[in-house]
């Protein structure tokens, strides 16, 4: 039902109801954020920000993360392996995906990597989702070693990443 003139108003000094506020222009605390699908993408910025757009892809920030499918490091390695005690970690490229698996010889688990973080100069760290939760894998790829290894800052387990949704 369309709101009455009085409700919709703000006219004649009448305050707006929350549902009108939410629909009207301007910010309001309970207004929902734009959907992710509303984002037009970097190509849409060129028109008004040509000089920024020309160099954006070369900036460290632009290179700071990528989908695992787009990671140059992952694409360049069909298979990486790392042993830690009785555990063997394997990172295997399969089509456009990279699968991280870990096995102690008896039990095993695996996950398709979702994202690669880091510019790749010092290292690249991988994140995957399992059961609706995001995890940072405990291994990173280090160009200086040309291999996977444990990050010093990392503790014994996969780190659980709190993500607000």
Classify burial at 60, counting beta carbons within 10 Å of its beta carbon; exposed 0-12, middle 13-18, buried 19 or more.
Answer: exposed
Phi and psi torsions of 7, nearest 5°:
-60, -50
CB of residue 103 vs ligand HEC: minimum separation in angstroms?
43
Contact 141, 131 (CB under 8 A): no
CB of residue 83 vs ligand HEC: minimum separation in angstroms?
44
Residues 6+ positions from 101 with CB-CB distance below 8 Å: 89, 90, 92, 108, 109, 110, 111
The rounded distance, in Å, linking the Cα atoms of 19 and 41 is 30
Contacts to ligand HEC by CB under 6 A: 40, 44-45, 47-49
Identify any residues that bridge with 108 across adjacent strands, giving them in sequence order.
103
Judged by CB, which is closer to ligand HEC: 40, or 153? 40
The rounded distance, in Å, linking the Cα atoms of 91 and 79 is 6
Judged by CB, which is closer to ligand HEC: 52, or 121? 52
Judged by CB, which is closer to ligand HEC: 45, or 75? 45
DSSP 122: S
CB of residue 48 vs ligand HEC: minimum separation in angstroms?
3
CB of residue 118 vs ligand HEC: minimum separation in angstroms?
22
Judged by CB, which is closer to ligand HEC: 48, or 156? 48
Judged by CB, which is closer to ligand HEC: 49, or 72? 49
CB of residue 56 vs ligand HEC: minimum separation in angstroms?
8
């Amino acid at each position: 039902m369309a709101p009455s003139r009085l409700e919709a108003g703000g006219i004649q000094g009448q305050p707006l109801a929350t549902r009108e506020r939410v629909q009207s222009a301007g910010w309001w605390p309970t207004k929902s954020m734009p959907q992710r699908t509303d984002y037009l993408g970097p190509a849409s910025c060129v028109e008004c920000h040509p000089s920024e757009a020309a160099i954006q892809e070369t900036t460290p920030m632009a290179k700071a993360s990528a989908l695992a499918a787009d990671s140059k490091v992952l694409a360049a390695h069909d298979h990486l392996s790392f042993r830690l005690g009785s555990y063997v970690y394997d990172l295997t490229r399969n089509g456009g995906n990279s699968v991280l698996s870990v096995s102690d010889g008896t039990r095993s688990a695996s996950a398709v990597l979702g994202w690669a973080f880091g510019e790749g100069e010092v290292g690249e760290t991988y994140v995957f989702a399992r059961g609706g939760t995001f995890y940072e894998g405990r291994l990173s790829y280090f160009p200086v070693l040309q291999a996977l290894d444990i990050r010093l800052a990392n503790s014994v387990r996969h780190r659980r990443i709190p993500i607000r949704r």
